[in-house]
Amino acid sequence: MNDTSQAPASETPPPAGEAAAPEPDGFAVIEKLNAENAELKDRALRALADVENMRRRSEREAADARTYAVTGFARDLLTVVDNFARALENLPAETRATVDGPLKSFIEGVELTGRELQAVLGRHGVKKLEPQGEKFDPNFHQAMFEAPDEALPAGTVTQVVQSGWKIGDRVLRPALVGVSKGGPKVAAKVE
C-alpha cells in the first residue's frame, strides 16, 4: 500500500538546527550564466587574437628567411666581386685599348664574369651601395678618413675606398669611404 503522507526524498526537511537553502533566484542564475558567457567569449577572442598574431609572426619570419637566407654566402662572394674589380682597375686604360686577340678576349671575359656575378647577387636581393657624392650615413658607410674640401659640404662622401653592399634593407657590408670636412655645413631637410 502506498503511503502518500510521506514527502518525496528530494523534499526532505533539513536536519534540525540547519536553515533551508534559499531557492536560486531566476535573475541570479541568468547573471551568473551571462558572466560565464562573457568570460568564455573573452577567452575565445583572446585565443583567436593569439592565433592571428602567431600567423603574422610566422609569415614575417618566413619572409625574412627568404630574404636573408643567402646573407652568409653573399658576404663570402663579395671578396670575389672585389677581386674582379681590382683586376680590371689595375689594367691601365691605354693597355686595354691597344690589346687585341686572346688577351682582349680574356679581359672581356673577366669583365663579363664580374658583371654576371653582380647580376646574380642582384637577383637575390644583394645590391651595391654607391655613396659617392652622398651625405655620410653611419648606417651605410664607415668613414676611413676626412679630407679638407671647400667645394663640398662637410660630411659628404668624397671617395669610396671599398664598395658597400646591402641585402634587403640590411647592410651586408658598409662602404669604406673618405668624407669631406671644412666645407659649408649641410642644412637639415625640413619636411
Asked if residue 61 has pLDDT above 80, the reply is yes
Does residue 67 form part of some domain? Answer: no
Instruction: Using DSSP, state whether 90 is helix, strand or coil.
Output: coil
Cα of first residue to Cα of last residue in the chain, in angstroms, is 101
Q: Say if 11 falls within a structural domain.
A: no
Can you give the pLDDT at residue 23?
57
pTM: 0.63
160 lies in which domain range?
126-186
**pLDDT, tens digit, for every residue of 140-166?**
999 999 988 888 888 999 999 999 999
The answer to the question of residue 179 being in a domain is yes
Answer whether residue 105 is part of any domain. no
Sign for the CA dihedral angle at 78, 82, 87, 92 comes to positive
CATH number where 148 lies: 2.30.22.10
- Is 97 inside any structural domain? no
Specify the pLDDT at position 187: 56
Q: Which of 4-13, 96-105, 132-141, 148-157 has the highest mean pLDDT?
A: 132-141
pLDDT beyond 60 at 7: no
Neighbours of 152 (CB within 10 A): 19
In angstroms, the CA 82 to CA 40 distance is 62
Residue 153 lies in a domain: yes
Give 68's contacts (C-beta < 8 A, 6+ positions apart): 167, 168, 170
Number of structural domains the chain divides into: 1
